[in-house]
Structure 1
Amino acid sequence: MILCDYCGDEIQPDLPGVNVYNKDVDVRYVTKQDCIPVGFKCVDVCVKDDKITYLKEGSSLPKGFECVTVSVIGRDVVYARNQKLIPEGFEQVTVYTRNREVKYARQGDSPPTGFDQVSTYAKNEEIKYRKASHLTPVGFEQVTVCVKTEDILYTRQEELKPKGSEPASVYVKNEDIADAKCYHVKGAFHTECLNNYIPRREEAARKFLERASPKSNVLSVGIHVKYLYGEGKVNQEQRRRKKEKRDRKAIELLRKVSALRNSSSGYILIHLVGLAPEDTFTGAFNEFADPKLHDLIQDEKQFSDVYKTEALSCHGFGDFLVLYVGASLNVTTSKFNTKTTLDDRIEDIRAETLRTFARERKSLCNTFHSLPGVTQAHHLQNVHENRSIQIKSHFSQKKDGRAIAEDIIKNHKLAEYISAFTKTECGGSFLYGVHEETTFKKGYGYETKVNRIQPVILKDRTIFRDTLGDYIRNTVLVCDYDGKELFPDPNIFLIHFIPCTPAGECSREEEKVYLRVRGESVHDGHGDEDAVVVHVAVRPVSGIVFHDKQGPLAYRYDRQFKLITRIDIKDWVRALTKRRVTQK
């Protein structure tokens, strides 16, 4: 399903559409005057077909690339073949590097202090920088770099040189750049959005700034009314698709609200795309947004003190709302990506709870959670869920160990449970292969729950353990109380297997299957199909464990350069735990 990045409506394959490449929150194209975004590193931009990767200095080059022209206009990145025309309004610049930082100097400018001049080479849609004394990379040809304000252009030597520009640099933030796992968004827009709605939005913003303070931060969000209002009778699949579209727009809205709350307030123009000219009802947006906006009040203020919504009073723009967003006293986080545990479930942690947890800096033990007396699956019949134990049913028909491991991560949210268990004093246990079944107590007249074992059949425990462990390590982020990533990740979990031997048929040798030697299972099950319950034991962590490698999502907005940037996790922790000074 391809959705328009502006209005959120679905782009049908048989309808005309325009695909562009859009910088997402983790890729920044900034002008010379801009400071390097916190935590960002300068990298080489490499493109092949429709895939963009960012390679650290010294990384090997992919094969099969050909020369192209790369240009960036506003938020859109364009890759042009030799035959295509070059946009006007650019001028040639010289490229300089220092370590991994890249600067562009116009003709006649003094070289940046401490930087070395480099040559720029292109192969297909890949760009590489090499010092002038170095050899040309195999299969590449030298290109000229031209820039204009926030636009970056790479042209071949024989092509026309655009006019009118200022230097710029390219930065990217991503811990997995060396493995080509950078964040990239391929934006898709309806032709109508590109040609009509987006220009109308820009005109609405211009008119709004005429009556607002010129120093105001102004952002915008477009959303089609069919995903805010009712669509009449819809089936279950239509409801699911509608929810997915609403959720995507909610993420965009919360990112921008977080940026404004962390940047001394501002306004968001809400474009209700497709609203009938005579329709004056806009309450559907409030029903959609208010609960989400309320969650971003993390400084104990009232909703009415933080947000104000009104129609855009400019004539001809009745399909626009203006959402005022007040500044926050603390850092506002759109998504914490960490959980806390209750006795019957885990849930998103509140800002004040996480703030207190980080401030207390508890030194927790490093002992893994255990299940005393459990050596076989039937011993789990009287083990029930609490704040340290979670039970998950094994309904999957998958037999491949790798597929089962992926199912546990994606559909049973193992990483989220791990992030919650690490905050408790004794850790926790995640049990996969046990089903809580409702049963009626005859003679007593009420329903209760009993455990039923649903064995997980594994052909090779070692492969399964290694696969599930890799999934966990590639998903979670472990930091100390200062936000410093503990790398390599400390061992915060152990994977065990509880054998599913029927009660009364267990020999002493079989009991050794679950006895641990230095935290490891004695039996690896290699080559034999055996039935087990998967037990993931988690230990407490003196720090913060996130169930997403991105860590917490909090943003700032730079009005001068129109950039929304992620707040570095160390800065985020400092802002989260900073104590407010009360005025006497």
Structure 2
Amino acid sequence: MNLCDYCGDEIFQHQRVIVYHKDVDVRYVTQQDCIPVDFECVTVTVCGEGDNIKYLKKGSLLPEGFQRVSVSVRDWDVNYAWKQDLRPKGFEQVSVYSRNGAIKYARKGDIPPTGFYHVSVYAKNEEIKYEREGRHIPVGYEEVAVYVKTEDILYTRQGETVPTGSEHADVYVKDKDITQVKCLQVKEAFHTECLEKHIPRRDEAVRKFLKNVSPKCNVLSTGLHVKYLFGVGKEKQDKPRKKKEKRDCKAAELLRKVSALRNSNSGYILVHFVGLAPGDSFTGAFDEFADPKLHDLIQDGKQFCDVYRKETLKSHCACKDFGDFLVLYVGAASTVTTSRFNTKTTFDDCIIDIPAATLKTFVRERKAFKETFHTIPGVTHADDLLNVRENRSLQLKSNFEQKEGDQALAEYIIKNLKLAEYISAFTKTECGGSYLYGVHEENCFLEGYGYETKVIRIQPVVLRDRTAFKDTLEDNIGNLVLVCDYDGNEVSPDPNIFQVQFIPSTAAKKECDPRVNCESGNHGHGDVDPVVVHVSARPVSGIVFYDKQGPLAYRYDKQFKLITRINIKDWVRALTRRRETPE
């Protein structure tokens, strides 16, 4: 799903491509090539349903069930890219500089790194080259653009490909390592209406507002389509999950900007209600959407009313024509404001997002834990788990999902059952914690007593290849988590903070015929006995984040008009800095 970066609504763009045809013969030719002999150029719409591709003349209606696609060509291979094959959202273009073979990336508006000169970037298939600006393009290569999102880089292609193998590409960064990924078709992440109407109107509103307050103020803006705030007609209503995804996307953008202003001595956000009916002055839907999230960003003990103020933009005399804008004032914070901590702590029955004050105390105390993995005493078979109960160091997960393949099950546990988040929470306890997959707490009514309690039921899982399952868990968690010491230094390579074990099922043991040898391998191919998966985490003298990005906190650079990430070392120092008390 591709969402407009401005209003947050879903983008359904019509892709038109130029093809050359002669009778029923169709050829794809890049812009640099000559038209084939006896072929004519026509503009058509290319659409697809599954593997079925149709070509429609300009103005024709789209067949039922089909969607428009873009077309790219490399050598003799034709690639059809549907609308989900897009450039990742939230990236901004950067410049590339070089010195003695070293490469640095600078965001638009940044001062070039000292001693570095600007270079052009070229791509051929999956190979990247850097050449000093103004030099000749390497043979077979094409110039590419470079984008960056915080500290992450990713490679993706843009535009049509050419038969020689060269492809125009965008360059991205991921975890400071340059990697290359599959060629993807890139499209603008904006509605045409937003580009031509809403964004220019937003820019005009910002200019007039700055004149009305002070040019020195920090002023940011965001667009938000009203259909994700207000109720809509049943015939146009999104499915709840889809609507939540769109709301979450805009909420993350809002919190990033609020964090930046709180960490940059205050400022204003102009909220543009895209699609608001003329004369509608109701803002309660935005309050319901934003206020709980804004309250979570008050991490210095202040009251909501002391941090935020709201007013309509038209209340300013120079902005009478902007009734669809709300002005949100954001006060400065006395400590670093973090939009997402990306780490958890434990209750006795669940894990929760860790409050700022709790995390601050945890880092200041600098506890030195013993690096021993959590154990469950007396458990050798699954039936030994019938008397366990969830607590701050033990969490149970039911085996309700039937997945095709051990690797698919491992990925489900990580993605849907939040294993990395549980590990991050367990590492903050003195003894670590255990995560059991295949144990269910079932409601049970006690006859004669008149109330309902819970009993343990074992739901073991059959793994065909425990080694593949274990490797998938370990590799995925290793790629997800970030382990830092109390000063924000990344522990590299990542320490072994969890172990994957298998508890054999008693049910499988009882089914064995005593006259038959029931022994089977327990650590490789051919494992078919049901087991309970036991992931044991150890305590860590530091902070474990369940996302490689670490904590998300931002600043606003007014000079270059950029929102930048606060690096983790500066974040830790700001988090733990003690306020100076006046004498």
Q: Under a length normalisation based on structure 1, what TM-score does the superposition of the two structures give?
A: 0.74
Q: Which residue of 1 aligns with 2:158?
A: none
Matched, 1:358 2:363: yes
Shift of 1:234: 7.1
Q: Which residue of 443, 448, 451 maps to 1:443? A: 448
Q: Which residue of 2 aligns with 1:178?
A: 178
Q: Distance in 1 between matches of 2:391 and 2:359?
A: 21
SS for the counterpart of 1:382 is coil
Shift of 1:282: 1.3
Residues 96 and 103 of structure 2 are in contact (CA less than 8 Å); yes or no, is this contact kept in structure 1?
Answer: no
Residues 339 and 348 of structure 1 are in contact (CA less than 8 Å); yes or no, is this contact kept in structure 2?
Answer: yes
Q: Distance in 1 between matches of 2:202 and 2:344?
A: 38
Shift of 1:14: 5.8
Matched, 1:238 2:243: no
Q: Distance in 2 between matches of 1:14 and 1:265?
A: 41
Residues 97 and 118 of structure 1 are in contact (CA less than 8 Å); yes or no, is this contact kept in structure 2?
Answer: no
For 1:410-559, what aligned pairs fall within 5 Å after superposition? Answer: 410-502=415-507, 505=510, 523-559=522-558
User: Could you report, residue by residue, the CA deviation over 1:199-227 in whole angstroms, capped at 9, with x for unpaired residues?
Assistant: 00000000000111111111101001111
Q: Which residue of 1 aligns with 2:248?
A: 247
Residues 521 and 527 of structure 2 are in contact (CA less than 8 Å); yes or no, is this contact kept in structure 1?
Answer: no
Q: Which residue of 336, 340, 343 maps to 1:338? A: 343
Q: Distance in 2 between matches of 1:488 and 1:415?
A: 18
User: Could you report, residue by residue, the CA deviation over 1:379-410 in whole angstroms, capped at 9, with x for unpaired residues?
Assistant: 11001100000000011111411000000001
Q: Which residue of 1 aligns with 2:560?
A: 561
Q: Comparing 428-437 with 443-452, which one deviates more in the overlay?
A: 443-452
Q: Which residue of 2 aligns with 1:100?
A: 103
Shift of 1:351: 0.2
Shift of 1:15: 9.8
User: Could you report, residue by residue, the CA deviation over 1:51-105 in whole angstroms, capped at 9, with x for unpaired residues?
Assistant: 9xxxxxxxxxxxx9xxxxxxxxx98769xxxxxxxxxxxxxx997525323789x
User: Could you report, residue by residue, the CA deviation over 1:291-321 in whole angstroms, capped at 9, with x for unpaired residues?
Assistant: 0000000011111111000000212100001
Matched, 1:394 2:399: yes
Q: Distance in 1 between matches of 2:142 and 2:250?
A: 42
User: Could you report, residue by residue, the CA deviation over 1:465-512 in whole angstroms, capped at 9, with x for unpaired residues?
Assistant: 1111111111111111011111111000000000012398499x9xxx
Report the residue type matching 1:412 in the other structure: L
Matched, 1:218 2:216: no
Distance 1:143 1:384, change over 3 A: closer
Q: Distance in 2 between matches of 1:287 and 1:142?
A: 47
Alignment length (residue pairs) = 476
For 1:3-152, what aligned pairs fall within 5 Å after superposition? Answer: 3-12=3-12, 97=99, 99-101=102-104, 114-115=115-116, 121=122, 123=124, 128-130=129-131, 139-140=140-141
Higher relative contact order (CA 8 A, sep 6+): 1
Q: Distance in 2 between matches of 1:577 and 1:497?
A: 40
RMSD: 3.7
Q: Distance in 2 between matches of 1:209 and 1:50?
A: 45
Q: Distance in 1 between matches of 2:113 and 2:363?
A: 41
Distance 1:445 1:187, change over 3 A: farther
User: Could you report, residue by residue, the CA deviation over 1:258-317 in whole angstroms, capped at 9, with x for unpaired residues?
Assistant: 011111111000001111111111121111111000000001111111100000021210
Residues 97 and 103 of structure 1 are in contact (CA less than 8 Å); yes or no, is this contact kept in structure 2?
Answer: no
Distance 1:142 1:564, change over 3 A: closer
Q: Comparing 301-310 with 521-530, which one deviates more in the overlay?
A: 521-530
Distance 1:261 1:486, change over 3 A: same
Q: Which residue of 2 aligns with 1:90?
A: none
Q: Which residue of 320, 326, 331 maps to 1:326? A: 331
SS for the counterpart of 1:497 is strand
Distance 1:495 1:186, change over 3 A: farther
Residues 399 and 457 of structure 1 are in contact (CA less than 8 Å); yes or no, is this contact kept in structure 2?
Answer: no
Query: Structure 2 stretches of 5 or more lacking a match?
Result: 17-69, 78-89, 147-169
Distance 1:327 1:462, change over 3 A: same
Q: Distance in 1 between matches of 2:354 and 2:145?
A: 50
For 1:182-201, what aligned pairs fall within 5 Å after superposition? Answer: 187-201=188-202
Query: Structure 1 stretches of 5 or more lacking a match?
Result: 17-48, 52-63, 65-73, 79-92, 105-110, 146-169, 515-520
Q: Distance in 2 between matches of 1:497 and 1:322?
A: 56
Q: Comparing 523-532 with 448-457, which one deviates more in the overlay?
A: 523-532
Shift of 1:525: 4.4
Q: Comparing 230-239 with 566-575, which one deviates more in the overlay?
A: 230-239
Residues 5 and 187 of structure 1 are in contact (CA less than 8 Å); yes or no, is this contact kept in structure 2?
Answer: no
Distance 1:141 1:319, change over 3 A: closer
Distance 1:174 1:117, change over 3 A: closer
Residues 97 and 103 of structure 2 are in contact (CA less than 8 Å); yes or no, is this contact kept in structure 1?
Answer: no
Q: Distance in 1 between matches of 2:247 and 2:96?
A: 45
Distance 1:103 1:264, change over 3 A: closer
Residues 229 and 289 of structure 2 are in contact (CA less than 8 Å); yes or no, is this contact kept in structure 1?
Answer: yes
Report the residue type matching 2:467 in the other structure: T
Distance 1:564 1:117, change over 3 A: closer
Residues 96 and 103 of structure 1 are in contact (CA less than 8 Å); yes or no, is this contact kept in structure 2?
Answer: no
User: Could you report, residue by residue, the CA deviation over 1:448-471 in whole angstroms, capped at 9, with x for unpaired residues?
Assistant: 111111111101111111111111
Residues 97 and 104 of structure 2 are in contact (CA less than 8 Å); yes or no, is this contact kept in structure 1?
Answer: no
Residues 480 and 547 of structure 2 are in contact (CA less than 8 Å); yes or no, is this contact kept in structure 1?
Answer: yes
Residues 97 and 117 of structure 1 are in contact (CA less than 8 Å); yes or no, is this contact kept in structure 2?
Answer: no
Q: Under a length normalisation based on structure 2, what TM-score does the superposition of the two structures give?
A: 0.74
Q: Distance in 2 between matches of 1:349 and 1:11?
A: 35
User: Could you report, residue by residue, the CA deviation over 1:421-450 in whole angstroms, capped at 9, with x for unpaired residues?
Assistant: 000000000000011100111121111111
SS for the counterpart of 2:372 is coil
User: Could you report, residue by residue, the CA deviation over 1:508-530 in whole angstroms, capped at 9, with x for unpaired residues?
Assistant: x9xxx99xxxxxx9931432312
The share of aligned pairs that are identical, in percent, is 66
Residues 358 and 481 of structure 1 are in contact (CA less than 8 Å); yes or no, is this contact kept in structure 2?
Answer: yes
Residues 419 and 545 of structure 1 are in contact (CA less than 8 Å); yes or no, is this contact kept in structure 2?
Answer: yes
